[in-house]
Copies of this chain bind each other. A is one copy, B any other.
Amino acid sequence: MNPNFGTVTIVGAGLLGGSLGLALKERGLARTVRGVGRRQCSLDTALAKGAIDEGYLNIEEAVHGADLIVVCTPAGMVPQQLDQIRGACSVSAVVTDVASTKAEICAHAEATWASPRRFVGSHPMAGSEKYGPEHATPTLYDGCVTFVEALGSQEPEAHERIVALWRSLGARVIEVDPVRHDALVARTSHIPHILAALIAELAGDACDVRAAAGRGFRDVTRIAAGRPEIWRDICLTNRAAVLEGLEQIARRLDHVRGAIEAGSGDALEAFFESARAARQKVAGE
């Protein structure tokens, strides 16, 4: 039998939150889904889509008596919202989030939550360049790799419920240490995003460039169409890992520039060959 998560409060009813609501409701995994938004119009969209049953502008009110609370807002907002939730939710509630960075958020929860804490960090790798409740879909988490903070000082039953939540939506759960998580996604997501943004910005400076932008360009820069405040928060909440990776990129870029300047065909071929092998190892299709 499927679990039932009872009354679920989703803080932030955008693409991720709205899709979570749709998925829970479609699978009959919740008694009631409450959505919290900053603006009534987003709540109205989520309500009209059937992603939530009830809309709230006040977070304390929305988490009162909820069994499961999922924070689906940009990483920079999560710690403060966890503070609000902690003071207003029932002692039996289980809390998670979906932000793309985990170390700061989990450390904040660890420092502020009563032990054993009932907050367990999550990160479903389900974002896209689209956002807003209008793009929400009940299948967003189907087959989606979802990182869940490995069991440490959390209440084991809370941890189990969060793992069960994602699995019941079809996600592939991977338990991971939050610091390790952030180092990994810096390399597979955050640094690629920053470089894609640099590529888009540079091309945008040229005139009459549209015809010369083929499928390759569109693929490389697709993620740069994402929501600026999400990526701002990711950079600010994963500073050490992002800066370390960007320093490596800068150093390697110097090396490639040197090889081009020197006309060193062998060095360039070796570089592209090594990149091709790395791509195959990391994401071979």
Binding site for B on A (CB under 8 A): 76, 125, 127-128, 145, 147, 172, 174, 181, 183-185, 187-189, 191-206, 208-226, 228-229, 231-233, 235-236, 239, 242-243, 245-250, 252-254, 256-257, 259-261, 263, 265, 268-283, 285
The answer on a CB contact under 8 Å between A187 and B214 is no
* A206-B225 in contact given A192-B216, A199-B191, A239-B263 (Cβ < 8 Å): no
CA distance A203 to B22 in the complex (A): 34
Q: Interface SS of chain A: helix, strand, loop or mixed?
A: helix
Smallest CB separation, A135 vs chain B (Å): 14
Smallest CB separation, A170 vs chain B (Å): 15
* A278-B229 in contact given A125-B212, A145-B211 (Cβ < 8 Å): no
Instruction: Name the residue on B nearest A233 (C-beta).
Output: B265
Smallest CB separation, A44 vs chain B (Å): 26
The answer on a CB contact under 8 Å between B216 and A189 is yes
- B-side contacts of A271, CB under 8 Å: 197, 201
* A217-B232 in contact given A202-B248, A278-B201 (Cβ < 8 Å): no
CA distance A224 to B219 in the complex (A): 11
The answer on a CB contact under 8 Å between A203 and B188 is yes
The answer on a CB contact under 8 Å between B189 and A228 is no
Smallest CB separation, A186 vs chain B (Å): 9
The answer on a CB contact under 8 Å between A232 and B269 is yes
Smallest CB separation, A72 vs chain B (Å): 18
